[in-house]
Structure 1
C-alpha cells in the first residue's frame, strides 16, 4: 500500500506503519484499558474518567478518519472504470443500502479481528513447520496428492485433514486469544460441581483449557497428528478458541479457510527451515493476542529450484 493523504487528520500523509497503528494497534491497546470506576458505578457517575473518555474518542476519531479516506480512495479508483476485485469493492457495488458508518465498520472489523487471530495463528504455524521438517514434508505430500501442480483452493480443504490438523493444533498450542470476552450468566448453573449464580460474569481461560495436561497428553508438544482423531462434525469442539454456542465467533469458518489456504500455498512453494539458535524461541508477548516477542525468522527455499 502507498502512503495516504488524510485531510481529516490535519492534512497529513499517513504511512503504511501509521495505517497499521491507527486501524489495529491503537484500538487494540485502547480495548485493554481498564476503568476501575466501572466496578463502583456511583463513583463513575460522580467522577467520570474524563482522561480515558478523551483517549477513546480520539482513537475512534482517528481510526474513522483513516477508514473513510481509504473508502473514498477506492471509490475514486472504481469511478475510473477499474474492475472490482476486493471486499470493499463488493460492498461499494452491492451494498448501496449500507450507511457510511456501517460501511466503515464492515471494513474495519475484519482487519482488526484477523490481525489478532488468524495472523497470530499463521506465524506460529510457520514457526512450528520450520522446526519440524518431517511434519512439513508430510503436509507437502498431502497437498501434492490432492492438488497436484495447482495451488490449493477452498474446495480442496475438505480433502486435506492434515492441513486442517496443523491449523487446529497451532491454535491449541498457541491460543491466539488467551482469554475470551466476559460472559454474563443469565440463570443459576452448576458446572463440574461449581455453583455459578445468575448475574455473575465469567472469564474463560482459553490458553489454560487448551494446555491442560488432564485433557491433552504432553500438552506442551505441537503434534498435529492428535487432531486427526476428531471427526469433521466436531471441528468446533477441538478448542475453545472460537467460543461456542450462541456467542460462537461469526468468523470461525473464514479464519480456518484463510489461514489454511495461506499455510498450504506457502508449503506448496517453499521449504521452511529454522536457523540454528532459533529452535526454542517460544517467547511471547500477550496483549490482545499471544504474539511472538520477536519477529519470525526462518529460511525459505523455493521448491522448484
Structure 2
C-alpha cells in the first residue's frame, strides 16, 4: 500500500543528484542516505517529510526543526554504551551515569513521546470520513491511520502508548540501519568497479533505458540481491545481535550456560569466519548465487533468526534494492581520486563507516531524458 511513497522518495534523491551534478560531481552520500530513509519512514508513518524539498509554513518548519533535533540527540546518545548494563558490578563502585546518560535518556524520551503524541492527535482529528469512497480513504491512509482504526475495535492492544512505541521502533530500527547499509554497499562497489558494471549490465538487460526501476522489478535482479547479501555479510549493521536470554540451562562449546544468562551473538565473527566462508575478507557477491536461506540460515543471519528475528527484514531488503538499483541504473559512480574508499568501521550501536562516503556521481547519457522528467 505504501510502495508509492518509497518510490517517490527515491526519485526525489535521483532528482537532487541530477540537479547538482552540474555544480560538483562529488557527493557526500552518508547524509543523503540518512535523510532519504528518514523521509521514507516518516511519510509511511505520518504522511510528512522532514528533509529536503517541499517543506513550507512557519508551523511546519517548527515541527521539522523539533524532529531533526530529536533525531540528532537520539543517535548521539544511542551510541553511548553504558558499561553498567552489561557488567552490573561496576554500578556498585559509582561508575554508572558519569555523564548523566540516564537522565538525558529520560528527558529525550519525554521529547519523543510529546512529538509522537502530537502526530497521533493530529491524525485523530482529521481521520478520513465514513462517507468517503474506498479510493479516497486508501489514498489518505498512513501507518498512524491504520493503527488508529485498529484502536477503535481493540483499544486495549492499540493504546496511544503502544502506537508511540511502534513509531519509535520503526524510526530507530528502520532508518540508520538501512542508510548505513546503503553507504557500505556503494563503498564496496566503488572499490570493486567490475561488480558495479555487472550490476549495471543486469539492470540494462532486464529493465532497459526507457523507464526507471520499481520495487516489482527486484525479483528479476538477482545480482542486486547478491550485492546486498554480501554487504550484510561483510558489514552486518548489528555486528553483535540484540541481547538474548537463555530460557533453560544448556551447554555451548563446552561451557555451561545457566538459565537466565544474557547472551550476545557475535554476528561479525560468524559472517567473517574462515571456517564458514571462502576468502571472507573479499567482496564476492557471486558467492550468494546458490545460497539457500533455509539450509544456510545460521551461517548468514544479519536480521537474526526465528521468533526473535527482525520483523523489518522484508521492508529493509525492498528499500535497499530499490535505492541501489536506482542509483546504479541512473548514474556512473567512481571514486573521487585514485585511493580506495576507506572502509574503516566506526563506533556506535550500529556499525557505521568511520568516514562518510564521498563519491563521484555522473548521470548516464542513456538516462538523461528520464532524469530530466522526474
Unaligned runs of 5+ in 1: none
Helix, strand or coil for the counterpart of 1:145?
Answer: helix
Distance 1:49 1:16, change over 3 A: closer
CA distance in 1, matches of 2:322, 2:296: 17
Name the structure 1 match of 2:206.
146
Q: Which residue of structure 2 lines up, in the alignment, with residue 104 of structure 1?
A: 164
Partner in structure 2 of residue 84 of structure 1: 140
1:61 to 101, 105, 110: 110
Please give the alpha-carbon distance, in whole angstroms, between the structure 1 residues aligned to 2:151 and 2:296: 32
Q: Deviations over 1:69-89 (max 9, x none)?
A: 444566678789995264445
| 2:222 corresponds to 1:173 | no
Higher mean C-alpha deviation, range 167-176 or range 133-142: 133-142
Q: Does the alignment pair 1:187 with 2:240?
A: no
Q: SS of the counterpart of 1:151?
A: coil
C-alpha separation in 1, matches of 2:147 and 2:190: 38
- Post-superposition Cα deviations, 1:195-253, rounded to whole Å, max 9, x if no partner, equal 43333222111111111122222211111111112035457445232111221111122
Alignment of 1:18 onto 2:74? no
SS at match of 2:173: helix
Query: 1:26 and 1:78 mapped to 2: Cα distance?
Result: 35
Matched, 1:117 2:166: no
Q: Tell me the alpha carbon deviations over residues 268-292 of structure 1, each in whole angstroms, 9 at most, x when there is no partner.
A: 1112111114514112212111111
Mark the CA change 1:239 to 1:37 in structure 2 (over 3 Å): closer, same or farther. closer
The alignment status of 1:136 with 2:190, answered yes or no, reads: no
Match of residue 270, structure 2, among 187, 190, 209? 209
Matching residue within 327, 336, 339 for 1:275: 336
Query: How many angstroms apart in 2 are the aligned matches of 1:146 and 1:113?
Result: 32
Q: Deviations over 1:151-179 (max 9, x none)?
A: 33333333322111100100111111111
Evaluate the alpha carbon distance shift between residue 49 and residue 285 of structure 1 in structure 2; reply closer, same or farther with a 3 A threshold. closer
Question: Taking structure 1 as reference, are residues 33 and 48 closer, same or farther at Cα in structure 2, changes over 3 Å only?
Answer: closer
Distance in 2 separating the partners of 1:38 and 1:232: 35
Shift in alpha-carbon separation, 1:223–1:186, aligned structure 2, 3 A = same
CA contact (8 A) 1:169 1:223 kept: yes
Please, which of 274, 294, 301 is the counterpart of residue 355 of structure 2? 294
Which residue matches 2:222?
A: 161
186, 207, 228: which one pairs with 1:126? 186
In the alignment, the residues of structure 1 paired with residue 217 and residue 205 of structure 2 have an alpha-carbon distance, to the nearest angstrom, of: 11
Report the CA distance between 1:67 and its aligned residue.
2.4
**Which runs of 5 or more residues in structure 2 are unaligned?**
1-49, 369-374
Greater relative contact order: 1 or 2 (C-alpha under 8 angstroms, separation 6 or more)? 2
TM-score, normalising length from structure 1? 0.81
Distance 1:117 1:66, change over 3 A: same
TM-score by length of 2: 0.68
For 2:68 and 2:122, the matched residues in 1 are separated by 18
